[in-house]
Structure 1
Amino acid sequence: MAEAKQQQQQPQAATAAAASGVWKTVKPFANGGASGMLATCVIQPIDMVKVRIQLGEGSAASVTKKMLANEGISAFYKGLSAGLLRQATYTTARLGSFRVLTNKAVEANDGKPLPLVQKAGIGLTAGAIGACVGSPADLALIRMQADSTLPAAQSRNYKNAFHALYRIAADEGVLALWKGAGPTVVRAMSLNMGMLASYDQSVELFRDTLGAGEVTTVLGASAVSGLCASACSLPFDYVKTQIQKMQPDASGKYPYTGSLDCAMKTLKSGGPFKFYTGFPVYCVRIAPHAMMTWIFLNEIQKLEKRLGL
C-alpha cells in the first residue's frame, strides 16, 4: 500500500515541478506585461496630448482645452485598446527579457552586481526584442490617436486596435504592420537603455549605498529611470511618430523616404531642438509611466511572494 501510494505521488510531484518550472520562466514576462498595462490605463490621457502636440496642434494647455471642448473626456482614451495591446506585447517582451538576461549575467558574474555598461547593453537588447514584438500594436496606437486630427475624407475610422491591425494588413499588406519599425526599434533601444539600466543602478544606489527604505528606493529609482528614458528617447520618438502618421500627397508621394530622411529634413527646417518638441509633456508622460510600471511590478512581486507563487 505504501509503495503504491509513493508511486502515485511521484508523477504528481513531477507534474508540480514541471508547472513550477514553466511559471518561473513565464513569470518575468507576465509580471512585466501586467505592470505595463496597469500603468498605461493611468497614463493614456497624457500620451494622447503628447501625440497631438507632436502633430502640431499647439501647446499642452491649448490641446487639452480643444479636446475637452470638441470631443469630451473620451478623446483622452482614444486608442486605449491599442495602448493595452502594445503593453501586452512590447512591455511583456522587454521587461521579461531584461530580467531573464540580467539574471543570467548576474549568475555568470558570481552573483555580484553588474557594471552600468553591461546593464545598458542588456537594456538595448531588451528594447530591440520588445520593439520587434510590439511594433504592429505601436503603429495601430499612433494611427488611432492621429485619426481624429485628420479631415473627414482622410479619416481611417478605426473601431479598435484589432480593427486597425486588420485594416492595415488588408489595405497595405501584412508587412505594413512593421512600417516605421526601424525608428521604433532604435527609439525602444535608447529608451530601455535609459530606463532599465538606470533603474537597476539607482536601486543599488538608494538601497545599498544610501540605506533608503523600500518606498523611497522604488520612487527615487523610478523617477531617475523615467528622466533618463525621456532624455535618451524623445528625438527617436519624434522621428518615429512622423514616419508612422505620414500620408501620401495627391501624386502618391510620401513626405519622407525613411527615418534618416525625416531626421535630416527636420534638422534642416527646425534645428536640433525640433526633435525635443513636446519634451515637458513627453517627460511628464514617460516618467510617471516608468514610475507606475515599477511600482505596479513591485506590488505584483510582493503579492506573488505572499501567495507563494
Structure 2
Amino acid sequence: MLATCIIQPIDMVKVRIQLGAKGSPLAVGAEIVRKDGVGALYKGLSAGLLRQATYTTTRLGIFNMMSEELKARNNGQNLPLWQKAVAGLSAGGIGALVGSPADLTLIRMQADATLPVEQRRNYKGVADAFIRIVKEDGVGGLFRGAAPTVVRAMSLNMGMLASNDQAKEAIEAAGFPKGGTVSVLGGATIAGFIASAFSLPFDFIKTRLQKMTPNPDGTMPYKGPIDCALQTLKNEGPLKFYTGFPTYCIRIAPHVVFTLVFMDALPKVQKNFGL
C-alpha cells in the first residue's frame, strides 16, 4: 500500500496511454493536471489501496509460505528456479482472483474521464463502485476481466518473485552481504524490469476488457481475453501489446522495487517493537 501511494500518478498515466491518450508520459500527465487538477492523478487511489490490501497481501503471503515449505523439503537449501517460478505463478493467480474486484473498480475509476460525458460512471469512491457494479451487473460483474487479470498476475509474479530471489542469490554469491542493501535493491531492480516485460501484454488486454462499454447494438466489443488478443493482433499488430512500455516499466519497476524493499524492511521494524 505504501508503494501504491508513491506510484499512483504513474499508474494513472499508464492507463490513459493504454486507452489511447497521445503524447509522451509527461505530456499526458500534464494534460490530466491541466484539465482536472493534480487530484486527478490520484483518481482511484482508494480502489488501488484496497487492491493491494487484498491482492498483494495474498500473493506475497502465499509465495512466502510456499517458499518456506519448499525450502524445508529441500533441507534448507536454495530452491531451483523452476520451483520459484511455480510458487510465483501459483501465488499470483490466487492473489489476482482475490483482488480482481478491487482491480476492476480501479481501472474504471481511472478510465472514467476518457469516456464521453454520457457514458461516464462517476463513481463517488470504491464503495459506491462496488455497490453500483453489483446492482447493475450482478456479483459476477465484479469479476469482469478476471481471466486476463489472473494470467497477467501469474506472469508478473513469476517474473517478479522468482527473479528477485534468483538475483539476490547471485548477488550474494558474488560476495555481497546476505540481506544487505546491495542484494535487496539489486534483486528488486532486476525483478522490476523482468516483471514488466513478462506482464505488459496481459495487462494491456485486461485494461481493454475492464474499460469496455457496450456497442450501440448492445453487444460488447470483445467476447473475452482471447478474442481481444486476436482482434488486437489482427487490426493493430503485435507491437500494440507493448503500447506504453516505457511508462509501464517506469510504473511497474519502481512499484516492485518499493514493494520488495518495504517487504524486507517491515519485519525488521516489527522486531524493534517485539512483534
Deviation at 1:151, TM superposition (A): 1.6
Larger Rg: 1
Q: How many residues align?
A: 273
SS at match of 1:148: helix
Q: Which residue of 1 aligns with 2:5?
A: 41
Structure 1 segment 129-208 matched on structure 2, within 5 A? 129-208=94-173
Cα distance, 1:279 vs structure 2: 0.1
Q: Which amino acid aligns with 2:83?
A: Q
1:293 to 235, 259, 262: 259
**Partner SS, residue 153 of structure 1:** helix
Alpha-carbon distance in structure 2 between the residues aligned to 1:48 and 1:193: 24
Does the residue aligned with 1:111 lie in a helix, a strand or coil?
Answer: coil
SS where residue 162 of structure 2 aligns? helix
- Superposed, 1:102-117 pairs within 5 Å as 102-117=67-82
**Does the 8 A contact of 2:176 with 2:182 survive in 1?**
no
How high is the TM-score relative to the length of structure 2?
Answer: 0.97
State whether structure 2 residue 222 is matched by structure 1 residue 263. Answer: no
Q: Choose the corresponding residue for 2:21, options 54, 57, 60.
A: 57
Letter in 2 for 1:38: L
CA distance in 1 between partners of 2:30 and 2:97 (Å): 36
Structure 2 CA distance, aligned partners of 1:61 and 1:302? 37
- Measure, in 1, the Cα distance between the counterparts of 2:68 and 2:129: 37
Alignment-mate amino acid for residue 243 of structure 1:
L
TM-score between both structures, scaled by the size of structure 1 = 0.87
Residue equivalent to 2:247? 281
Q: 1:11 maps to which residue?
A: none
2:185 aligns with 219
What do the CA deviations read for 1:113-170 (whole angstroms, capped 9, x no partner)? 0000110010000001101100000000000001111121111010111111111011
Q: Distance in 1 between matches of 2:88 and 2:248?
A: 20
List gaps (5 residues or longer) in structure 1: 1-36
Distance 1:130 1:78 in 2: 23
Q: Distance in 2 between matches of 1:185 and 1:120?
A: 15
Can you give the 5+ residue segments of structure 2 that lack an aligned partner in the other structure?
Answer: none
Q: Provide the alpha-carbon RMSD of the alignment.
A: 1.0
Q: Which residue of 2 aligns with 1:12?
A: none
Query: 1:212 Cα deviation (Å)?
Result: 4.6
